[in-house]
Structure 1
């Protein structure tokens, strides 16, 4: 099974940068990275002293009763994004995670929600969830904070 891993779309981030605010009206402002922040634009950890922004983000691009929004870190200026869309992002491979699956109608597939620990095989668990006939895609989220990591299809 080939899985695609997708960071926050560059077009959405570009629109937010141009507007000077995220999609929820929070001001787009730089902050200096301490070096621990997981960046959702390129799916890597920020380097010390990089200019980043903390924004409110939802992976939904249209209204949905399933919409969840929360804080995520991104580069303040545009970056190259996540080029390895066929590779599970290394930064998130050994953390606490929630695999939050959705069916083909866009509703949450409750029977397949999966909680992972750092010791679990995240790739195998994700492949298992995505192999279910009723699962169309998965929002991979932080198991600690609940915030969005990336989309898996």
Structure 2
């Protein structure tokens, strides 16, 4: 069994409180247009007209060659991590880029695959069945933005 995770609640709370993003900058304030603005904390779409933050995010513990950084959206108001079996944000695109990572946060070559939205859970489960894979990151197949992390339940 697998579990989907948004960014850690503490990271989201720090950004909302004005803390620096992955580039040391405060998050930009914006308003959701309702299309394509997935919150990386609650893993739901930010409703049209709702306040949101845009910032750089690096879902890794340290700087290293495989620690990708990219733009994300975040609900400006407090929200909580989703416990949904399959998050809403992973239904807004026809496909996603999945990559398996080792415990030292390195991409395991050969695991990266653009995967249809309906096949995300199955492909992630097949990767996580491999002992050397610690987690799977889901990114936009078109913009490479980090979407969610998948682990063994």
Q: TM-score, normalised by structure 2?
A: 0.87
Deviation at 1:147, TM superposition (A): 0.7
Deviation at 1:53, TM superposition (A): 0.7
Does the CA contact (< 8 Å) of 2:6 and 2:149 recur in 1?
yes
Does the CA contact (< 8 Å) of 2:15 and 2:26 recur in 1?
no
Does the CA contact (< 8 Å) of 1:16 and 1:23 recur in 2?
no
- In 2, the alpha carbon distance for the partners of 1:65 and 1:29 equals 26
Deviation at 1:143, TM superposition (A): 0.6
Question: 1:152 maps to what in 2?
Answer: 150
Per-residue CA distance 1:53-92 (angstroms, 9 max, x = gap): 11100101223221100001001122122132xx121331
1:116 and 2:115 aligned: yes
Structure 2 unaligned blocks of 5 or more? none
3-state SS of the aligned residue for 2:114?
Answer: strand
3-state SS of the aligned residue for 1:91?
Answer: helix
Q: How large is the Cα RMSD of the aligned pairs?
A: 1.7
Question: 1:43 maps to what in 2?
Answer: 43
Question: 2:139 maps to what in 1?
Answer: 141
Moved runs in structure 1, 4+ residues, more than 4 A?
Answer: none
User: Cα–Cα, structure 1 residues 19 and 61, in superposed 2: closer, same or farther, change >3 Å?
Assistant: farther
Q: TM-score, normalised by structure 1?
A: 0.87
Instruction: Show the 5 A alignment for 1:2-151.
Output: 2-36=1-35, 37-84=37-84, 87-93=85-91, 95-118=94-117, 120-151=118-149
Deviation at 1:28, TM superposition (A): 2.3
Does the CA contact (< 8 Å) of 1:41 and 1:74 recur in 2?
yes
Deviation at 1:20, TM superposition (A): 4.3
3-state SS of the aligned residue for 2:16?
Answer: helix
How many residues align structurally? 149
